């Protein structure tokens, strides 16, 4: 399956952000992609979170998601993007990923588990963590896609849980805060999560200045098969279940692990 990374430069103009996603979805579809992934906070983003985030939050059947379903249907692609979901609390919202099918149906939604309370930034001031830590995996075109958001990459147990739940591709939708060594860490962590789980990792990021850019699709051996630079852009590449199966055959870590392992389960049982 061919999938695309849509690297945005989202700001506070929701209409402009939605229009950019529509343009990139059209380009991705024209390049043969069946799924296009956009970053965290794709619909609304600022350099520093503030009270405007819960103020613009909507339910998942609100105008933002309605526009995204229209984009998915119009271009005949599955679409994954970060939105700000209303939580029912006036001062807090959810940082949510939504996945829509080419027919506009909701395939999955994932509320960010690990909020970025680090580097002097307090995401939890205006965002509520997911009430459930259950991994979210959806199937599209015979491929299992697992959802995680930005800071989640630093928690390898979530990527492992997604893989155990059937993910063959992890969609890491992010707005990776810039700083010392942060681009190096972004690239290292996307590769590490791919290698240790035998999966593809699609790390799709916001562009500078709010984030580091450098969106990347990493294969299960840790090689980058698609990369973007610092500017808003879209890139597509193939993901192969045959490659996933072969790497997991060579490195059957799921059945070999001993810390917290359930030896009766996993995606790579002994013959």
pLDDT band, very low/low/confident/very high, at 258 (cuts 50, 70, 90): confident
The catalytically annotated residue of 40, 45, 85, 168 is 40
pLDDT reading at 18 higher than 50: yes
Per-residue pLDDT tens over the stretch 180-190: 999 999 999 99
* Residue 123 bears catalytic tag: no
pTM over 0.85: yes
pLDDT tens-digit readout, 23-82: 999 999 999 999 999 999 999 999 999 999 999 999 999 999 999 999 999 999 999 999
Question: Is residue 194 pLDDT above 70, yes or no?
Answer: yes
List the beta bridge partners of residue 93.
86, 127
Mean pLDDT of the chain: 95
179, 208 contact by CB (below 8 A): no
Give CA–CA dist 101/80, Å, rounded.
Answer: 9
Provide DSSP, 29-82: HHTT-SEEE--TT-SS--SS--THHHHH-B-TTSHHHHHHHHHHHHHT-EEEEE
CA distance 108 to 116: 22
- Gap between the Cα atoms of 33 and 35, Å rounded: 6
Query: Which position among 45, 58, 65, 150 bears the catalytic label?
Result: 150
> Is position 85 annotated as part of the catalytic site?
no
Domains present along the chain, CATH in parentheses: 2-243 (3.60.110.10)
User: Is 242 labeled as catalytic in the residue annotation?
Assistant: no
Q: Quick check: 16 pLDDT over 80?
A: yes
Given 112, 123, 168, 173, which residue is catalytic?
A: 112
pLDDT value at position 263? 42
């Amino acid at each position: 399956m061919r999938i695309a990374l849509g690297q945005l430069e989202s700001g506070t103009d929701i209409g402009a952000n939605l229009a950019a996603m529509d343009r990139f979805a059209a380009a991705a579809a024209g390049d043969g992609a069946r799924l296009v992934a956009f970053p965290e906070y794709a619909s609304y983003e600022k350099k520093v979170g503030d009270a405007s985030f819960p103020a613009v939050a909507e339910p998942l059947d609100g105008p933002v998601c309605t526009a995204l379903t229209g984009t998915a249907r119009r271009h005949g692609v599955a679409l994954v993007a970060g939105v700000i979901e209303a939580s029912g609390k006036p001062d807090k919202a959810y940082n949510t990923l939504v996945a829509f099918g080419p027919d506009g149906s909701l395939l999955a939604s994932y509320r960010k588990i690990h909020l970025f309370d680090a580097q002097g930034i307090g995401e939890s001031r205006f965002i509520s963590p997911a009430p459930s830590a259950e991994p979210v995996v959806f199937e599209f075109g015979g491929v299992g896609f697992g959802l995680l958001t930005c800071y989640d990459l630093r928690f390898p147990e979530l990527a492992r849980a997604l893989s155990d739940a059937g993910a063959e591709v992890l969609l890491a939708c992010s707005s990776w805060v810039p700083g010392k060594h942060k681009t190096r860490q972004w690239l290292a962590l996307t590769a590490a999560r791919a290698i240790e789980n035998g999966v593809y990792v699609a790390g799709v990021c916001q562009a500078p200045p709010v984030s580091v850019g450098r969106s990347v699709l990493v294969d299960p051996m840790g090689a980058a098969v698609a990369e973007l630079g610092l500017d808003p852009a879209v890139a597509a590449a193939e993901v192969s279940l045959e490659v996933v199966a072969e790497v997991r055959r060579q490195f059957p870590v799921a059945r070999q692990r001993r810390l917290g392992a359930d030896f009766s389960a996993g995606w790579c049982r002994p013959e």
